Chains A and B, each alone.
Chain A
């Protein structure tokens, strides 16, 4: 039996639940992960990713040496046309690439050369084209400290707010809606408070696969506490087995369904009048707009029986403690903001917010998407959600960063999706990507590819060369979560420690160290007075951030040594704030908004008769950079499209058959899973698989306010395909759980 050299407590790098991990290390190799049974978030439970999915750290394809393209190292002019070149062997070594010009070969180099190349080129472009030519993707998987520094580098040195990260692609609709209605954008309560609910709504969230540990608590709330769960989802997800009511709506019809529930609550006088009177505004106008949203009207649009809408409305309104948990199915629509507002209204009408066991809870997808947003990795906000177009906020950060008065930009930056669509002459010329993978996660990938090719200079800082890094000019090898210190902020707003289990592999370095090193090189080339970059530890970075962002003011590493704190933590003796809005909302009164039903941008028709909705799988993670390089991939090695038996029969498709799924934007070939999990007319695809990327098909229509794309609904057609056309015909694993 192997005894570990040490057991290091850290936080899981996958979803937003923020489970505590104990990494068992022997000879700088993690061989086992456990979780303490007294951990506040997960009580010792983990999912397959948390417990077994860390092996990507040691995958042979991991890059641990800085890489630059041959043309850069040899001082040649940049070859025309940017290509997606992986050109790395199975053990992570660059290999010559004969198909394209060998100027695009990856060549191993040293840190000094790589960082100088990055600094030279970024400064060259900045001096030539100014701030608007610069852009950066921060990373929802990196630590708070990493993200804070990267946005600081771009704001302080390049004077641009073109700073964003993948929150734009997941909860932007929820964030904007919550900002408009409440003035804050995190979960109002903690996930573990589901045990205090007697009724709760889960919608647009396949919680069992995407937040598995929260799903356990939801199931326990139902089975042990007798709570009643209402699932609103187009798919018959696992949680439906535990639900009191399931409303199987057509994708993109959230607004009529939730507005019809509101209609019932008002008509049947189930309104919490005290709450509406004391804590909200805009009610009268809103109620007028509800008139047309009868359950029958909603039934016609959504396919959900009117009687079930009534039952759900009564159940939620009459609860003692009601709460709402939602995921991407609400926000990833061209009317994602409206769809989240429709949900928020339900809480306003019934007063199910501002108390323990109630709340408006958008389940955040990534380990640190909450934290990256808090750290100002967004185009409209400094850390702490301080608007960049407000001169008072600007002054605070100018002081903190040693910038001359009026030096920082007041101009709102470009969002993730806009950064790429502005990649052309006269627009964005250089992009720095830390840990993200837009070539998998953006909609309509064929267009994204075109945008990536327009960039003049691209830097990727990651652990693998993923589909986006394959376009880069310079690759900076970062340390994984287990090789650095820092903090993650989970979906509960709980700030928890990430700790070094062993030293970084090869020459890889923690992100924060790379950024500091690079920032100093940029400063010397710019010849500007220096902001501070000589941090001795991540803790010093967090302290600097907390000195201006009051939500984090009371958080020190010492205080979160054992158990994380839930922000806002305004002072060193503050215990944290699990439940928000107990007295009022940040904007004062909660604001009702008049809503209208806007259909999805691309409805099915005779040519493209199916609605495609996309999502995630338990065994995989987003763009797949981590899980496709893990044993997890062996448990689910290929994308499969889910199709209802009735549709399958009509098109002559049997379970396991190869099919071609195409939209107006692209096509992929995958195996079909014939299952009643999806409803008639709706097909489902996971988007983790590069060789059959669902986002080749998805629609890049944006929500006008949140700029979030419509991942959750577009029109597709499906036809049988030939076995040999499958990208990987041998990758079949029989799984009983599907």
Chain B
């Protein structure tokens, strides 16, 4: 059934059951997303897709809130823009976004102040290099949950990784922090495929970026050389 609502002061029609994100996209709107991915279940974790809905006390995450008859929605009001900017500034102050192309573009668009939170403690950790297929660099992880979801019901039904720790200490990890080969992981790399920040990366790409030559990488496959590579200080 079709419903009517107002999007940025324009009356639009939409199919009932659609989310505000879908309605905005259908009408050419540009609502930014970070944790949301078409192939995973939306969880409204990052909140960068928030919009202002008249009559609602707080900003609403467009990726999960359904459009309703008569709704009045602002996707780029001052409050919305300020909120998105703050989210980006907070992310940027605590983690390494250098390889998150889309977020970099977003930060430019929202004129992010890179020094807004100078005292923030950065979330840093060692690169986990424990299997021949991919590395995990959680200094770049923004906890979007996509990897956990594709490992579970959104694709693979393997359940090898999940959140561990609480609050600021939260990180993606394996049960009992086991090395990847010792978990239920089937090394499908679905997680690598949906990672938005380069925290999960194919081993070969990682090695190439460390300056290892294609020839040297190919020799590693023969098992004659150690595949481990150290993290380069940047």
Report which A residues bind B (CB closer than 8 A).
1-2, 24, 26-27, 29, 31-35, 37, 43-48, 51-52, 55-56, 58-61, 90, 212, 216, 219-220, 223-224, 242, 618-619, 629-635, 637, 733-737
Asked if B45 is at the interface of the complex by the 8 Å CB criterion, the answer is no
User: In the complex, A635→B153 CA distance in Å?
Assistant: 25
What residues on B are CB-neighbors of A29 within 8 Å?
Answer: 208, 214
Asked if B123 is at the interface of the complex by the 8 Å CB criterion, the answer is no
* With A635-B187, A734-B181, A736-B178: A45-B156 Cβ-Cβ less than 8 Å: yes
Q: Is the interface of B mostly helix, strand, loop or mixed?
A: loop
What residues on A are CB-neighbors of B184 within 8 Å?
Answer: 736-737
The 4 closest A-B pairs by CB, nearest first: A58-B218, A48-B187, A51-B189, A29-B214
Contact B181 A46 (CB under 8 A): no
Contact A635 B155 (CB under 8 A): no
What residues on B are CB-neighbors of A637 within 8 Å?
Answer: 223
Contact B221 A635 (CB under 8 A): no
Contact B133 A2 (CB under 8 A): no
Contact B205 A31 (CB under 8 A): yes
Tell me the smallest distance from the CB of B130 to a CB of chain A, in Å.
11
Contact B198 A735 (CB under 8 A): no
In the complex, 6 of the A-B residue pairs with CB atoms within 8 angstroms, ordered by the A residue number, are A32-B205, A46-B190, A51-B188, A55-B218, A619-B187, A737-B186
- The closest CB in chain B to the CB of A62 belongs to B218
Contact B132 A634 (CB under 8 A): yes
Contact B188 A45 (CB under 8 A): yes
Which of B39, B178, B222 sits near A43, CB closer than 8 Å?
B39
User: In the complex, A633→B227 CA distance in Å?
Assistant: 13
Tell me the smallest distance from the CB of A222 to a CB of chain B, in Å.
9
What residues on A are CB-neighbors of B10 within 8 Å?
Answer: none
What residues on B are CB-neighbors of A44 within 8 Å?
Answer: 39, 193
* With A52-B187, A55-B218: A631-B133 Cβ-Cβ less than 8 Å: yes
What residues on A are CB-neighbors of B150 within 8 Å?
Answer: 45
Contact B224 A45 (CB under 8 A): no
* New A-B contacts (11) at CB < 8 Å, excluding given A1-B209, A2-B205, A29-B214: A32-B202, A32-B204, A45-B155, A45-B188, A51-B192, A90-B222, A629-B221, A634-B132, A634-B223, A635-B132, A734-B182
Contact A633 B223 (CB under 8 A): yes
What residues on B are CB-neighbors of A632 within 8 Å?
Answer: 132
- The closest CB in chain A to the CB of B218 belongs to A58
* With A27-B214, A32-B204: A736-B132 Cβ-Cβ less than 8 Å: no
What residues on A are CB-neighbors of B198 within 8 Å?
Answer: 1
- Residues of B97-130 at the interface with A, using a CB-CB cut-off of 8 Å, are 98-99
* With A51-B192, A736-B182: A31-B221 Cβ-Cβ less than 8 Å: no
Contact B188 A55 (CB under 8 A): no
Tell me the smallest distance from the CB of A571 to a CB of chain B, in Å.
34
Tell me the smallest distance from the CB of A290 to a CB of chain B, in Å.
37
Which of A46, A56, A736 sits near B189, CB closer than 8 Å?
A46
Mark interface residues in B191-228 (1 if CB within 8 Å of A CB, else 0). Answer: 01100001000111100110000100111111110010
Asked if B157 is at the interface of the complex by the 8 Å CB criterion, the answer is yes
Contact A60 B155 (CB under 8 A): no
User: In the complex, A31→B216 CA distance in Å?
Assistant: 13
Contact B205 A37 (CB under 8 A): no
Contact A223 B153 (CB under 8 A): yes
User: In the complex, A57→B131 CA distance in Å?
Assistant: 20
Which of B99, B131, B132, B193 sits near A51, CB closer than 8 Å?
B193
Which of A52, A56, A58 sits near B133, CB closer than 8 Å?
A52
- Residues of B30-70 at the interface with A, using a CB-CB cut-off of 8 Å, are 38-39
Tell me the smallest distance from the CB of B184 to a CB of chain A, in Å.
5
What residues on A are CB-neighbors of B98 within 8 Å?
Answer: 1
Contact B221 A55 (CB under 8 A): yes
Which of B157, B185, B189, B205 sits near A219, CB closer than 8 Å?
B157
Tell me the smallest distance from the CB of B234 to a CB of chain A, in Å.
11
Contact B188 A48 (CB under 8 A): yes
User: In the complex, A326→B185 CA distance in Å?
Assistant: 25
User: In the complex, A242→B153 CA distance in Å?
Assistant: 13
- Residues of B171-188 at the interface with A, using a CB-CB cut-off of 8 Å, are 178, 181-188
What residues on A are CB-neighbors of B131 within 8 Å?
Answer: 635
User: In the complex, A735→B182 CA distance in Å?
Assistant: 5
Contact A59 B157 (CB under 8 A): no
What residues on A are CB-neighbors of B181 within 8 Å?
Answer: 635, 733-736
Tell me the smallest distance from the CB of A538 to a CB of chain B, in Å.
27
* With A44-B39, A48-B187, A223-B153: A1-B214 Cβ-Cβ less than 8 Å: no
What residues on A are CB-neighbors of B186 within 8 Å?
Answer: 47-48, 212, 618, 737
Tell me the smallest distance from the CB of B101 to a CB of chain A, in Å.
8
Contact A631 B203 (CB under 8 A): yes
What residues on B are CB-neighbors of A633 within 8 Å?
Answer: 221, 223
User: In the complex, A736→B193 CA distance in Å?
Assistant: 22
What residues on A are CB-neighbors of B39 within 8 Å?
Answer: 37, 43-44
What residues on A are CB-neighbors of B183 within 8 Å?
Answer: 736-737
Tell me the smallest distance from the CB of A709 to a CB of chain B, in Å.
30
Contact B132 A631 (CB under 8 A): yes
* With A43-B39, A635-B132, A734-B181: A1-B99 Cβ-Cβ less than 8 Å: yes
What residues on A are CB-neighbors of B204 within 8 Å?
Answer: 31-32, 52, 55
Tell me the smallest distance from the CB of A445 to a CB of chain B, in Å.
25
Tell me the smallest distance from the CB of A17 to a CB of chain B, in Å.
13
Contact A216 B157 (CB under 8 A): yes
Contact B214 A60 (CB under 8 A): no
User: In the complex, A44→B195 CA distance in Å?
Assistant: 13
What residues on A are CB-neighbors of B155 within 8 Å?
Answer: 45, 216
User: In the complex, A48→B99 CA distance in Å?
Assistant: 24
Contact B157 A223 (CB under 8 A): yes
User: In the complex, A56→B198 CA distance in Å?
Assistant: 25
- The closest CB in chain B to the CB of A45 belongs to B155
